[in-house]
Amino acid sequence: MRITQEEIAEIAEVSRGTVDRVLHNRPGVNKDVRLRVNNIIKALDYTPNVAGQALVCRKRNLFFGVMISPNIQTSIEEVRREVFIQVEELRAWGIELNIEVTTASNASEQLKQLDCLLKQGIDGIAIAQVFEKSVAEKLNELMANGIPVITFYQDLDNIRRICHVGQDDSKAGEISSGLFDLILPRNSKVAIISDFSEFICQKYREEGFFRRLRSSGSSITVVESAENLGQDLLSFKLVSEICKKYPDLKGIYITGTGAEGLGKALKSSEMHSQVQVISHELSPSVIKLMEEGIVKFSICHNPLRQGSMAIQLLFKFVFRKIKPVNEKYYVEPDIITYECL
Amino acid sequence: MRITQEEIAEIAEVSRGTVDRVLHNRPGVNKDVRLRVNNIIKALDYTPNVAGQALVCRKRNLFFGVMISPNIQTSIEEVRREVFIQVEELRAWGIELNIEVTTASNASEQLKQLDCLLKQGIDGIAIAQVFEKSVAEKLNELMANGIPVITFYQDLDNIRRICHVGQDDSKAGEISSGLFDLILPRNSKVAIISDFSEFICQKYREEGFFRRLRSSGSSITVVESAENLGQDLLSFKLVSEICKKYPDLKGIYITGTGAEGLGKALKSSEMHSQVQVISHELSPSVIKLMEEGIVKFSICHNPLRQGSMAIQLLFKFVFRKIKPVNEKYYVEPDIITYECL
DNA sequence: TTGTATGCGTTATCAC
DNA sequence: GTGATAACGCATACAA
């Protein structure tokens, strides 16, 4: 049987009210009493019964904002479905959690949405990609005002947040490189295409890729590493050029978006049956290329699971005041092949 | 704001007590009244507030049994750790759930453990593998007596249970076959080794493997399909023979246990760098073979996640009386390579 | 056959 | 500064 406030009050020879005040750091309690009660709380390892809290807190509703960017390559409907499951689960416990899912593809949109959420009185924010410093600053401001922020999917340096939920990109890069060694003949030439190599995740993926090549003594040579700036047209051009330059190219590792342009280039160069492609995530264009047999593997970090993890951590923090123990949480990478779809 | 018993009582112009009696199908309420109340409950889509229930039910503790077999290839400590997390989570809500994790490797041990659990007054059972009909019959009996049973990891025909949590083995087989097509040269010869092909999961894996070979028009030929009866010695013998018989063998798909014997055979035949192995799950011997570069892929169905899913469903059923909507729940297969370890 | 009272643990609002 | 008390939604024992 767990310890209750009532019991603490009894032991400390005070009333429940006082215990409550101590627990919530509210003023109006003698220093000595506070210390005594606090000691008992610690000694008996008291933790509140969440059911009791849930029952009381039926008055005020919670309100979270989930901000995603198109880059997470999952449809907003899917995110909503995932969110719905969690909201329903909490509803069963009598807790009304409202979650507004918005999508933005640039900084100014994000800022506008943040302002809108703030006006409605937000209790917490999970954000999948922070586009610019201006947004980061805004989020820092929120944190300073006691509104918790969790970043997921893509992190940013110098941003204040209670934690980050993401993937181990460097490991993902290692896995890709290992996969190439399994499917390519010896001494193969491989090219790497990123969209913006400055994006942390892509930088780490590439790093991991190279690290394993070295450490495993792989025979693969990376002949080119180019940026398509997230544009399919540029992607097409780049890959076409590379194909011309290296007619014996055997593999392409695409760490970000732009798979569609890549696919077209391979087909128009008639290299699509010779070049094996490994990509990340499961955008519609990647799925299509898998069905066509051009993309052989895609390494995914279920953005849905990341999102729901973020919401759970956010809820725990807001409702139960439990701070995430880790600064970063990783979801395991999923290796996807055509048969997995 | 959700609807409450109180409100239903008000609308039906009866007391809370009566509503409660109707909700719990207890006797002592007029037929007409019962009908009226029931209609209101349905019309307003009433669902109980679990927090309220949790608060009341602090008196009686719940007691679940989790029975695993060595075949699930996860250490009992890991299972306990996983169980612990869930128990703590419920504890936070004031619900004391006791879970006893036992491991048995044959039917008579399982029967003994079941009896032991029954004597202690069990509220539900999650079982990872049912060895014989005698155990299945015992479980059917429990179900008849209102003690819910969930099977996970491995199912059995003709067993009564509220649902099953497992994997889509046929899909797993398809994935393996797809992987072979990616890593093997054209027209390769492949052998399949199972331990007991009568085990449902292995049967389905093999079926899926063959199905995809046919449907995709693969150039792979399966030259042999043998059973090692779960014995490493037999596994060694079988694989040695196969290696001798097919010196140009390129791949082995091992659907069950016995990887250690297989590895030794490949090494002693000096075929280990020529033959690519795909296996299932992550037993210590599989991990070792991956590190040695012999096993290239292993397809896993996180038994831990299966177990925790089973417990969650069990809890939902026992505590909230919510029957699982599906008869079978599948976890997604994980494709594991050396770099994933 | 029906209604009422009590308690579960927490929070918040009074009163002292 | 401190203590008592009324909800919150539910289950149950008891009263009518």
Residues of A in contact with B278 (CB under 8 A): none
How far is residue B159 from each of residues A107, B136, B137, B138, B143, measured CA to CA in Å?
A: 57, 6, 8, 10, 10
- Confidence band for A77, pLDDT divided at 50, 70 and 90: confident
In this complex, do A91 and B175 lie within 8 Å of one another by their Cβ atoms?
no
**Longest Cα–Cα distance in chain B:** 84
Average predicted confidence (pLDDT) for chain B:
91
CB-based burial label for B243 (10 Å; 0-12, 13-18, 19+): buried
pLDDT recorded at residue A229: 86
Candidates A335, A336, A341: best to mutate against B (most CBs of B within 10 A) is A335
Token match 């978006």: residue? A257
Token match 């109180």: residue? B6
DSSP string, A133-154: HHHHHHHHHHHHTT--EEEESS
> What does the DSSP 8-state code read for residue B61?
P
In this complex, do B340 and A175 lie within 8 Å of one another by their Cβ atoms?
yes
Q: Tell whether the model's pLDDT for residue B203 goes beyond 70.
A: yes
Q: Tell whether the model's pLDDT for residue A198 goes beyond 70.
A: no
Amino acid identity of residue A308, one-letter, is: S
Task: Give the whole-number percent of chain B exceeding pLDDT 70.
Answer: 99
Task: Give the whole-number percent of chain A exceeding pLDDT 90.
Answer: 72
Q: Are A337 and B182 in contact (CB under 8 A)?
A: yes
The mean pLDDT of B26-30, rounded to a whole number, is: 87
Distance from CA of A178 to the nearest CA of B (A): 7
Protein residue closest to D9, using CA and C1'? B52
List beta partners, residue A335: A299
Task: List Cβ neighbours of B264 (8 Å cut-off, separation of 6 or more).
Answer: B232, B236
DSSP string, A206-274: HHHHHHHHHHTT---EEEEEEE-TT-HHHHHHHHHHHHHH-TTEEEEEE-SS-HHHHHHHHHHTT-TTT
Q: Report long-range pairs for B33-40 (Cβ below 8 Å, ≥24 apart).
A: B36/B12, B37/B8, B37/B12, B40/B8, B40/B11, B40/B12
Residues of B in contact with A177 (CB under 8 A): 339
Distance CA B180, CA B222 (A): 11
- Confidence band for A260, pLDDT divided at 50, 70 and 90: very high
CA B127 to chain centroid: 8
pLDDT recorded at residue B197: 67
How many Å does it take to go from CA A8 to C1' C10?
13
The mean pLDDT of A238-248, rounded to a whole number, is: 94
Show the tokens assigned to A311.
């919401």
- Confidence band for A197, pLDDT divided at 50, 70 and 90: low
C-alpha neighbours within 13 Å on the C-beta side of residue B222: 18
Weakest-pLDDT range from A229-233, A278-282, B324-328: A229-233
List beta partners, residue B62: B97
Q: What share of chain B is helix, strand, coil (3-state, %, to 5)?
A: 50, 20, 35
> What does the DSSP 8-state code read for residue A106?
S
CB-based burial label for B36 (10 Å; 0-12, 13-18, 19+): middle
Does this model's pTM top 0.75? yes
pLDDT recorded at residue B196: 76
For residue range B259-302, list pLDDT tens digits in order. 999 999 999 989 999 999 999 988 889 999 999 999 999 999 88
The mean pLDDT of B313-327, rounded to a whole number, is: 94
How many Å does it take to go from CA B318 to C1' C12?
34
List beta partners, residue B175: none
pLDDT recorded at residue A157: 77
B149 — phi, psi (to 5°)? -125, 135
Angle between helices B303-320 and B76-92 (to 10 degrees): 40
How far is residue A214 from each of residues A211, B156, B205, B240, measured CA to CA in Å?
A: 5, 48, 36, 35
Show the tokens assigned to A207.
């790093």
The mean pLDDT of B334-340, rounded to a whole number, is: 96
Amino acid identity of residue A148, one-letter, is: P
C-alpha neighbours within 13 Å on the C-beta side of residue A142: 28
Q: Are B181 and B230 in contact (CB under 8 A)?
A: no
How far is residue B103 from each of residues B63, B73, B80, B116, B156, measured CA to CA in Å?
A: 17, 12, 11, 13, 18
> What does the DSSP 8-state code read for residue B185?
P
How far is residue A182 from each of residues A135, A178, B179, B185, B337, measured CA to CA in Å?
A: 42, 7, 10, 11, 10
Show the tokens assigned to A47.
């933790």
In this complex, do B94 and A340 lie within 8 Å of one another by their Cβ atoms?
no
Per DSSP bridges, beta strands A295-300 and A334-336 are antiparallel
For residue range A277-323, list pLDDT tens digits in order. 999 988 889 999 999 999 999 999 888 889 999 999 999 999 998 99
pLDDT recorded at residue A57: 80
Distance CA B121, CA B98 (A): 11
DSSP string, B302-316: -HHHHHHHHHHHHHH
In this complex, do B177 and A96 lie within 8 Å of one another by their Cβ atoms?
no
For residue range B246-256, list pLDDT tens digits in order. 999 999 999 98
Q: Tell whether the model's pLDDT for residue B76 goes beyond 90.
A: no
How many Å does it take to go from CA A161 to C1' C13?
35
Q: Which of B173, B193, B290, B289 is nearest to B241 (CA)?
A: B193
How many Å does it take to go from CA B92 to C1' D6?
25
The length of chain B in residues reads 341
B194 — phi, psi (to 5°)? -120, 165
Q: Is the CB of A138 under 7 A from strand D?
A: no
Chain B residue with minimal CA distance to A339?
B175
Element (H, E) at A86: helix A76-92
Q: Which nucleotide is nearest to A9 (CA to C1')?
A: D3
Q: Which residues touch strand C (CB under 7 A)?
A: A 1-2, 4-6, 16-17, 20, 23-24, 48-49, 51-53, 55-57; B 13-18, 20-21, 27-30, 33-34, 52, 55-56, 58, 94
Q: Does B339 touch chain A (CB under 8 A)?
A: yes
Q: Are A148 and A183 in contact (CB under 8 A)?
A: no
Task: List Cβ neighbours of B324 (8 Å cut-off, separation of 6 or more).
Answer: B162, B163, B313, B316, B317
Q: Tell whether the model's pLDDT for residue A329 goes beyond 70.
A: yes
For residue range A162-182, list pLDDT tens digits in order. 999 999 999 999 999 999 999
Residues of A in contact with B338 (CB under 8 A): 178
Q: How many CB atoms lie within 10 A of CB A114?
A: 23
Distance CA B57, CA B94 (A): 9
The mean pLDDT of B167-182, rounded to a whole number, is: 96
Q: Tell whether the model's pLDDT for residue B202 goes beyond 70.
A: yes
Q: Does B335 touch chain A (CB under 8 A)?
A: yes
- Confidence band for A59, pLDDT divided at 50, 70 and 90: low
In this complex, do B179 and A54 lie within 8 Å of one another by their Cβ atoms?
no
In this complex, do B52 and A55 lie within 8 Å of one another by their Cβ atoms?
yes
pLDDT recorded at residue B165: 94
